[in-house]
Amino acid sequence: MHQGRTTLYEQLARIGKVVMHPKRIELLDLLCQGERAVDALAGATGLKLGTASAHLQVMRQARLVETRRDGTRVYYRAAGEEVCRLVAALGDLARARLAEVNQILGEIGAGAAERVTRAELLARVRAGEVVVVDVRPTEEYDAGHIPEAISIPLERLEARFADSHELDVFTDLDPDKEIVAYCRGPLCLLAPQAVAALRERGWSARCLEDGMPEWRQAGLPVTRSRGANHPTVEATNQLARGQTAQMASSPINGLKPSARKSPDRTGTPATSDYAVSQRSS
């Protein structure tokens, strides 16, 4: 019996081996936004290609990530939604138990950002009172975003402000509506930085309480840009279970996700082509 428990904990320690390294947690966080090639992951995390590949191999051995090959390129994705829940749980635990985490967030201004709950956002979108802005990189927006959200990556927002300090620099935003920005999750700095820049220039703006993974895990509708044909985390889960995705009615405006087009400021039409299973995170 004792040997059996030891063997069990040894298997659990395979997961611990992944999350003991900060760069592996960062890689998992990125993969919870959508599938990426090794070179893209290396660039996003500031790692050398060989170093990023070595980290990904450790994560693959622990079965936290999966791969597919397209020609000579290898693409990685989170192995399932439970992997992304693990990343979110690590963040929650760190904020609850490590004062240093909240201190860091406070120093960079992320901790003070006013947050909008998912329920409030849904109600205000239905009422036409807000504009939802996804400030993650375009490839993450394409892989899955909140219906009705428009894509303005933080780098593009900052560049447009640098070119002009006028409020009409964003002709695709309604100045009479509040902006709700979101990114990768509650520890992501992109949305707080975007909100700070918008407020500094006179816009009414707040952050969503968390990010895209938490939205997806809550069973809320997700839109994927047309042409983004790589597997999503949820699609991977459904394939593993041998299930076909069932379209659920969207809480936004009461329309089914497949029945509406989502604004895509990159020039490519977007459509809601799947919805996550209705379960709470």
> Is there a catalytic annotation at residue 188?
no
Best CATH choice for the domain 108-275 from the list 1.20.120.160, 3.40.50.1000, 3.30.1330.50, 3.40.250.10: 3.40.250.10
What is the spatial distance between Cα 109 and Cα 183, in angstroms, rounded to a whole number? Answer: 15
Q: How far is CA 133 from CA 156, 217, 247, in A?
A: 12, 19, 24
Which pLDDT does position 3 carry in this prediction? 72
Structural domain spans, the chain = 2-79, 108-275
Domain topology for 2-79? Arc Repressor Mutant, subunit A (1.10.10)
Token representation of residue 70: 């397209």
Which pLDDT does position 171 carry in this prediction? 67
What is the spatial distance between Cα 152 and Cα 137, in angstroms, rounded to a whole number? Answer: 8
Q: Report the length, in residues, of the chain.
A: 281
What is the spatial distance between Cα 195 and Cα 112, in angstroms, rounded to a whole number? Answer: 11
Q: Which stretches of the chain drop beneath a pLDDT of 70?
A: 1-2, 108-113, 164-172, 226-281
- Is residue 74 within 8 Å of residue 56, measured between CB atoms? no
Which pLDDT does position 110 carry in this prediction? 63
What is the spatial distance between Cα 260 and Cα 269, in angstroms, rounded to a whole number? Answer: 11
Query: ∠76-81-87 over CA atoms, to 5°?
Result: 80
Which pLDDT does position 112 carry in this prediction? 57
The CA-to-CA distance between both ends of the chain, in Å, stands at 34
Q: Which of 32, 183, 188, 207 is catalytic?
A: 183
Which pLDDT does position 154 carry in this prediction? 93
pTM of the model: 0.75
Residue 91 has φ and ψ, to the nearest 5°, of -65, -45
